[in-house]
């Protein structure tokens, strides 16, 4: 299964993103970010299924919520995505 | 006990607030400090509180709602984010020491009081306009005077500040929970409010609504960007170093929900009706001067009075001995007393909450009558 990891700048922003996406019917998983994802230590990510990623990004963008970074993860590994 | 000191702190809290505080002590740790159940529960509660506050008070979103210890803390953050050495600051004639002391403590800051008579909204707007036209950097205005219950025309003052491009800080200490606080409509830079007065939360809680860049008062852990040695440059983390007061925040959320369910309009109308009853009764007593607005909309649920031949503190103490809690003196607001001409005598203040009753007002008036009568006879 492939996922995108949307890195939020804070727990509050991550929660705001989660609520917004859930309202849109996009199920996400809010989790503490692995150190390699934030680059600054201590952060939060939203795990979004690959097929909902585009809608998720559009939804966040419409509300002015900009992710810090975005990563793609599948069976081959984890890599950063420029959005 | 009859409690008429809600302008300081509402003593009677909704049952839901007590339950929320207890629950938080049992199941919550700190938000953003892990992904275990206790931290998640705390994060969910904090987020709900921010979201509801943003919705109720017109802040842009949950990130713009910062938890503070009280309104004084919130005002210090706002003032120290905007005011610099050499700044000229205009304040209303009804400010609390929570505004005037931080300004006084800052080097090279000129504070100009836009003086205007009590309960004269047009004069208040004119006074601000005069000073704004002379050029100022920041404006601070209380929404409701903690001494007199005077509802200042913040909406009109905010419009003048916008016209001059001057950032406005609103002290909503007495208005949050009773009067409409609307950051978006005002275009204010900041609004500060306590959680423990009209929002019925516990002591040790407050909110700062932000629409302007901020400067932290303290630095420390935020659960975010831990590798960096600077405070994060985004809200609310930037202003929230250290562990959160989760019992307080959970209680504040319950308080906000209580206010939302009762509606601010209903709470204000109820408190105003009780205050009018107090004023009516005071007016009938010999030697009593009550500070009452002619126009209903200009006074919230707070009234000050003096009694000839009595010191304000002495009278408050005599009432206290009879089981009635009121506040005498200067109410930490010498500027307001100076403006109203009561700085030498002080006043006795009666302030309402939604839990007060008409029968309590009757008992208060009866006891006050007895105290005055005793002194006149003996």
Interface of A with B in 11-70 (CB under 8 A): 11-13, 15-16, 19, 30-32, 38-44
Q: Cβ–Cβ of B237/A10 closer than 8 Å?
A: yes
Which residues does chain B have within 8 Å of residue A16's beta carbon, measured at their own beta carbons? Answer: 47, 61-63
Q: How far is CA B128 from CA A3, B84, B279, in A?
A: 56, 20, 29
Same domain flag for B160 and B218:
yes
From the list B34, B47, B227, which residue is nearest A12 (CB)? B47
Give DSSP secondary structure letters for A9-47. Answer: SSHHHHHHHHHHHHHTT---EEEEPPHHHHSSSS-EEEE
Predicted pLDDT at B156? 98
Predicted pLDDT at A30? 94
Pick the last residue of a domain from B262, B280, B296.
B262
Which residues does chain A have within 8 Å of residue B228's beta carbon, measured at their own beta carbons? Answer: 40-41
Same domain flag for B339 and B207:
no
| Burial (Cβ within 10 Å: 0-12, 13-18, ≥19) of residue B341 | exposed
From the list A11, A19, A41, which residue is nearest B226 (CB)? A41
Same domain flag for B295 and B369:
yes
B8-26 pLDDT per residue, tens: 999 999 999 999 999 999 9
A24-50 pLDDT per residue, tens: 999 999 998 887 788 888 889 999 999
Measured at the CA of B125, the angle between CA B121 and CA B128, to 5 degrees, comes to 140
From the list A16, A19, A40, which residue is nearest B63 (CB)? A16
CB pairs under 8 A between A and B: 62
B30-58 pLDDT per residue, tens: 998 888 999 999 999 999 999 999 999 99
From the list A13, A30, A41, which residue is nearest B63 (CB)? A13
- Residue B274: how many other CB atoms lie within 10 Å: 21
Same domain flag for B314 and B200:
no
Same domain flag for B257 and B273:
no
In a mutagenesis test of the B interface, which of A19, A32, A33, A42 is the best target, namely the one with the most B β-carbons within 10 Å? Answer: A42
Q: How many domains does chain A have?
A: 1
In a mutagenesis test of the B interface, which of A7, A11, A14 is the best target, namely the one with the most B β-carbons within 10 Å? Answer: A11
Same domain flag for B223 and B235:
yes
Would you call the peptide bond into B104 cis, given omega within 30 degrees of 0 as the criterion?
no
Q: Cβ–Cβ of A38/B225 closer than 8 Å?
A: yes
Q: What is the mean pLDDT of residues B120-125?
A: 98
CA distance B124 to B129: 9
Predicted pLDDT at A42? 83
Predicted pLDDT at B378? 64
Minimal C-alpha gap between B276 and chain A (Å)? 43
Task: Give the CA radius of gyration of chain A.
Answer: 12
**Between B290 and B378, the higher pLDDT residue:** B290
Pick the last residue of a domain from B236, B262, B288.
B262
- CATH number of the CATH domain containing B83: 3.40.640.10
How much is the mean pLDDT over chain B?
97
Q: Cβ–Cβ of B223/A11 closer than 8 Å?
A: yes
Contact between residue B88 and residue B167 where contact means Cβ atoms under 8 Å apart: no
- Residue B24: how many other CB atoms lie within 10 Å: 23
Which residues does chain A have within 8 Å of residue B234's beta carbon, measured at their own beta carbons? Answer: 9-10, 13
B225-265 pLDDT per residue, tens: 898 999 999 999 999 999 999 999 999 999 999 999 999 99
Helix (H) or strand (E) holding A77: strand A77-81
**Between A38 and B77, the higher pLDDT residue:** B77
Minimal C-alpha gap between B112 and chain A (Å)? 38
Same domain flag for B222 and B291:
no
B128-150 pLDDT per residue, tens: 999 999 999 999 999 999 999 99
Same domain flag for B369 and B326:
yes
From the list B32, B63, B227, which residue is nearest A40 (CB)? B227
B266-318 pLDDT per residue, tens: 999 999 999 999 999 999 999 999 999 999 899 999 999 999 999 999 999 99
Q: Which percentage of chain B shows pLDDT scores above 70?
A: 99
Domain ranges, residue A43: 3-81
From the list A16, A30, A42, which residue is nearest B224 (CB)? A42
B323: pLDDT strictly greater than 80: yes
Token pair 């007061």 is found at: B245
Which residues does chain B have within 8 Å of residue A18's beta carbon, measured at their own beta carbons? Answer: none
Please give the span between the terminal C-alpha atoms of chain A, in angstroms, as a whole number: 21
Q: How many domains does chain B have?
A: 2
Same domain flag for B31 and B153:
yes
Minimal C-alpha gap between A78 and chain B (Å)? 21
- According to DSSP, the β-strands at B138-142 and B168-171 are parallel
Helix (H) or strand (E) holding B129: helix B121-134
Q: What is the mean pLDDT of residues B346-375?
A: 96
Contact between residue A7 and residue A67 where contact means Cβ atoms under 8 Å apart: yes
Q: What is the mean pLDDT of residues B123-132?
A: 98
**DSSP secondary structure code for residue B217 in this structure:** S
B60: pLDDT strictly greater than 90: yes
Domain ranges, residue B278: 2-10+263-377
- Give the lowest-confidence range in A39-53, B195-209, B317-331: A39-53
In a mutagenesis test of the B interface, which of A8, A9, A15 is the best target, namely the one with the most B β-carbons within 10 Å? Answer: A15
Of all residues in chain A, the one with the smallest CA distance to B49 is A12
Same domain flag for B283 and B183:
no
- CATH number of the CATH domain containing A69: 3.30.70.1530
Contact between residue B298 and residue B125 where contact means Cβ atoms under 8 Å apart: no
Same domain flag for B146 and B159:
yes
Same domain flag for B223 and B267:
no
- CATH number of the CATH domain containing B315: 3.90.1150.10
């Amino acid at each position: 299964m492939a996922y995108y990891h949307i890195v939020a700048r804070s727990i509050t922003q991550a929660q705001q993103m989660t609520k917004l996406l859930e309202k849109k019917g996009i199920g996400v998983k809010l989790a503490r970010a692995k150190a390699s994802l934030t680059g600054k230590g201590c952060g939060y990510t939203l795990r979004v299924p690959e097929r909902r990623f585009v809608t998720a990004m559009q939804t966040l963008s419409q509300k002015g919520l900009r992710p810090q970074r975005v990563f793609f993860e599948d069976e081959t590994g984890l890599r950063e995505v420029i959005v | 006990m009859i409690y008429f000191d809600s302008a300081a702190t509402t003593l009677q809290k909704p049952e839901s607030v007590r339950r929320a505080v207890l629950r938080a002590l049992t199941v919550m740790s700190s938000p953003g400090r892990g992904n275990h159940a206790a931290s998640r529960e705390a994060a969910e509660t904090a987020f709900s509180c921010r979201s509801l506050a943003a919705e109720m008070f017109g802040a842009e979103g949950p990130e713009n709602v910062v938890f503070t210890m009280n309104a004084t803390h919130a005002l210090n953050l706002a003032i120290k984010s905007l005011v610099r050495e050499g700044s000229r600051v205009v304040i209303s004639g009804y400010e609390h020491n929570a505004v005037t002391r931080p300004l006084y403590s800052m080097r090279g800051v000129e504070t100009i009081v836009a003086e205007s008579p009590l309960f004269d909204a047009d004069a208040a707007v004119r006074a601000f306009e005069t000073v704004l036209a002379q050029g100022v950097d920041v404006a601070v205005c209380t929404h409701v005077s903690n001494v007199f219950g005077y509802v200042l025309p913040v909406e009109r003052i905010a419009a003048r500040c916008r016209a001059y491009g001057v950032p406005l800080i609103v002290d909503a200490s007495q208005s949050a929970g009773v009067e409409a606080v609307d950051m978006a409509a005002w275009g204010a830079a900041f609004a500060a409010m306590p959680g423990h007065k009209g929002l019925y939360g516990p002591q040790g809680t407050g909110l700062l609504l932000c629409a302007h860049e901020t400067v932290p008062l303290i630095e420390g852990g935020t659960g975010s960007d831990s590798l960096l040695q600077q405070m994060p440059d985004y809200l609310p983390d930037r202003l929230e170093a250290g562990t959160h007061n989760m019992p307080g925040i959970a209680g504040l959320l319950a308080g906000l929900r209580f206010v939302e369910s009762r509606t601010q309009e209903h709470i204000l109308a109820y408190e105003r009706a009780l205050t009018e009853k107090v004023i009516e009764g005071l007016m009938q007593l010999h030697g009593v001067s009550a500070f009452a607005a002619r126009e209903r909309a200009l006074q919230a649920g707070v009234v000050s009075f003096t009694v000839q031949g009595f010191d304000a503190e002495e009278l408050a103490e005599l009432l206290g001995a009879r089981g009635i809690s009121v506040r005498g003196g200067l109410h930490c607001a010498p500027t307001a007393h100076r403006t109203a001409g009561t700085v030498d005598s002080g006043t006795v203040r009666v302030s309402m909450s939604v839990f007060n009753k008409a029968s309590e007002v009757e008992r208060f008036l009866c006891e006050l009558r007895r105290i005055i009568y005793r002194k006149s006879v003996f």
